[in-house]
A and B are shown apart, each in its own frame.
Chain A
Amino acid sequence: MKKYLLIFVLFFLLGCQKPIEQPTFTMETFPRVDGSTVTIPLSEAICAKLTGQTIEQVRPYILHTKTHSAYINLIDRKTDLIFVTYPSIDEFKYAADSGVEMEIVPIVSEAFVFLTHKNNPVESLTLKQIQEIYTGKITNWKEVGGPDLPIIAYQRPVNSGSQTGFLDLVMKGLTPMNPPTEWVMAGMGDLIEAVANYQNQPDSIGYSYYYFVVDMWGNENVRLMKVDNVYPSNSTITSKQYPITTNYYAVFRKSEPADSNVRKVVNWILSDAGQKLAEDFGYVKVR
């Protein structure tokens, strides 16, 4: 009997632990939110879920002004909760100069992935090989176990979000070689050279954020490459087994009271239900 009682008590103490309760809000009580473009669908879904409305009903009220502007708005107290990438040195400095301490909570995971043609026999590259491809040290697929074909390594325009991620997460201080270019019409009769977009050929390699690739139209024609022999999937990104990962964060002022609506929202995002909602909208769970 003692054995059963022990099990009974264990169930009582552990199994019946109360899950994080879903807070409820009206549009008036829901915190003022801002953030980057990539977190808009998450932001809309959270607001809809916690105010009991449809996405279409809340969409006209949710405005994300992009990452840097969102940080400025948070520090200037024009918004209360932002969904963004990690703050830059400048944003940290602006916060410190403004006497604001930020609390930075990872809420969903993200990864930087490399894509190639589905028929390319090379399945995996090491991070070092990727760096050497993009610095021009490795120029042929046969150097990484593939066919005797020159590697066409596409990049993104310098001012793009993907290129920033590429430089920060992959190149880590190394200077990439000049990217392939193409001639495009830039104005009345003007042809100018621009960074060529990824062309899905067997000799090509390109990159993107996982969120934009995994569910995009036409992705059956491309294959994501393993990095250090780990395939990028929801589970390997959540577990950080996949080596090139980052997060999107909920950021708010540390001075938010313990029972504030902002903290209630963030706690709920980290709950099972919150993480499930994020996954439903194409994001990768953070835990």
Chain B
Amino acid sequence: MSKFAKLLFVLFLLMGCTKPVDPDPDPDLKPKPKEEELFKSPQGNNVISPVSIPFVYGNPIEIIEEYKVRINTFSISGLKNIVNENKINAAISEKIEHLISYINSEKLPPYRGIYAKIPKETVATEYYIGTYPTYNFNNVLSIAFYGWYSFDINGNSEYVSLSDALNFDLTTGNLLTVSDLLTNDSNTQKQLSDQIALVIAKSLDSDDYFWDRPSITLAAPFKGIKGNQKFYISNSGFHFIFDYSNPEFDNGFMSVTLHVPYSKVMPYVAITQRFTTTGSIYEAPIRQAEFLYLNEAAVREETKTVIYRGVNVYSYRFLSTDVPQSYIDNLPDPVQLTYQMIDEVIDKYPIQSAYANVYASMVGEYVGLSTYNSVYSEDNYYKQWSITYNGKGEVVKLSDLFVNGYFYRNILRDEIKKNSGQSGIDDMEALLDSLQFTLDTAGISFNGFLPATETRGPYNIGFYVPYSTFGMENLTLFNHE
């Protein structure tokens, strides 16, 4: 083979077979994580697991609400550091302005297929924009935003809805990221994504609406939350917003919010300790405390219907999975009580239906058990029973809830008067003595009973009193003596 032929051969190999120039300016579209999607280092205090959260203190800031036509917003006041306060209020205003700009469809965020439905020059004919605080404890303020827009397209309406959130460290006015939610020694992305993946798996492909499984459509596999994932906080957990920023979700022109309860990521929840300080950052003293929903809300029993003397008796047992079995075993059988109530009423009035419900749940270390029996005839005839146990398994008496010397009966008397409407209470002290209660995260549910007299039938009352009505300083729940 001559040198020329060899040269020609090599030239052909090197040049003749090269690919034509690719006209694409972005030849590699393969999805890669963007810098802003990476997880940042946690801010604030170094919080290490296991974390215990007996209760949380309400931030003593004022929420100044502002209502305009179609727009609800608010600002805050009460921080000692005015610079931080202004920074927070400016961020809230900026977010609201951003949501207002979406009235013009050209400014709408890049929802999948949005311009195939809503041309760019369209202006919303109806819209509602708003914001509200979702969590305001232990120097953290979490705020949810929403925007709802209706566009008229050739006589048909197209709707767009948006959810957004801002989460502030009130000690600095800085915004939180996902990295701040869990302890410094936890794998935050894994902990939270594992839970989100479970919610998604439960929800996929189901057209039916269930409370514990929002409707989700995936266009691609879920690959975990991002470092800049939108979220807000509530007293029950973290709420992650999935929208156009997470294109694996295909939920039309709306976002979907998925909830990770605290119970699923305890003892790694750091948010209650992340930004606590030794000195107060507020103008006013702290006066409010609450529990968070740290316990399992999942139910472990079912409904059943039985027929007694021709009456359908619906039995419903809502038992949180974390209430110890020993408490469940000692629950009274409410169905028998409902049968008794039917026996008492059925010869006097026709009965439409009857109910026998049992509830068991936990708040903090406290176990609350209650039953609700009712018979629907000419009137709703019902009986309630409730009991609360402390962490040692002891029954909590009403007086145990309050510090020595606090006249809680005065408050309860006022609450009974407020809740009894027009009916006068003929024996207030007996009613006060009859009070039973269960604890909620933010208050106490009371029920009281007076037996029938010659002049009236049996008297039932149920009412709810927020802890703030009594004052944090008067409740032993928040002042262990």
Contacts and interface: CB of A to CB of B under 8 A. Distances in A.
Contacts of B287: none
Given A211-B221, A217-B194, A218-B194, 4 more contacts: A8-B8, A37-B217, A41-B219, A185-B212
Interface string A46-57: 001110111110
Interface string A132-168: 0000000000000000000000001101111100000
Given A52-B23, A159-B207, A213 B221 contact: yes
Interface stretch (B80-88, B110-118, B334-342, B384-392): B110-118
Interface in A206-234: 211-218
**Chain A residues touching B, majority SS:** mixed
Contacts, number: 168
10 contacts: A7-B9, A11-B13, A11-B17, A19-B19, A59-B244, A61-B116, A157-B206, A184-B212, A187-B211, A282-B221
B26 interface: yes
B20 interface: yes
A92 interface: no
Nearest to A3: B1
Interface in B9-29: 9, 12-13, 16-17, 19-20, 22-26, 29
B19 A40 contact: no
Interface string A27-41: 000000000011011
B116 A4 contact: no
A198 interface: yes
Contact of B204 (A44, A160, A186): A160
A178 interface: no
B208 interface: yes
A83 B136 CA distance: 48
B12 A16 contact: yes
A5 B2 CA distance: 11
Contacts of A19: 19-20
A186 B113 contact: no
Interface in A43-93: 44-45, 48-50, 52-56, 59-64
Contacts of B24: 22, 24, 49-50, 52
Interface in B85-124: 110-117
Interface stretch (A105-113, A189-197, A239-247): A189-197
A163 B250 contact: no
A56 B32 CA distance: 13
A171 interface: no
A258 interface: no
B316 A217 contact: no
Interface residues of B, number: 60
A21 B303 CA distance: 64
A213 B13 CA distance: 42
Please list the 6 inter-chain residue pairs (A to B) with the smallest Cβ-Cβ separation, ordered nearest first. Answer: A63-B113, A160-B205, A63-B116, A216-B221, A185-B211, A280-B30
Interface of A: 1, 4-5, 7-8, 11-12, 15-16, 18-19, 21-22, 24, 37-38, 40-41, 44-45, 48-50, 52-56, 59-64, 156-157, 159-163, 183-187, 189-191, 193-194, 197-198, 211-218, 277, 280-282
A52 to B, nearest CB: 5
B302 interface: yes
Dominant SS among interface residues on chain B: loop
B223 interface: yes
Q: Which of A8, A156, A213, A216 has the most CB of B within 10 A?
A: A216
Contacts of A54: 26, 29
B57 interface: no
Contacts of A198: 201
B221 A62 contact: no
Nearest to B357: A189
Contact of B222 (A4, A184, A216): A216
A187 B212 CA distance: 10
A277 B29 contact: yes
B110 A59 contact: yes
A268 to B, nearest CB: 11
Contact of B17 (A15, A186, A193, A213): A15
B224 A217 contact: yes
B362 to A, nearest CB: 18
B29 A37 contact: no
Contacts of A52: 23-26
Interface in B200-229: 201-202, 204-213, 217-224
Given A40-B219, A60-B111, A60-B115, A161 B205 contact: yes
Nearest to B206: A157
B29 A280 contact: yes
Nearest to A21: B20
B193 interface: yes
A24 B223 contact: no
B31 interface: yes
A156 B205 contact: yes
A217 B258 CA distance: 16
Contacts of A215: 221, 223
A13 to B, nearest CB: 11
Contacts of B244: 59
B13 A191 contact: no
Contacts of A40: 112, 219-220, 250
Interface string B381-400: 00000000000000000000
Given A8-B12, A37-B250, A215-B221, A60 B114 contact: yes
B64 interface: no
A61 B115 CA distance: 5
Nearest to B203: A197
A52 B223 CA distance: 26
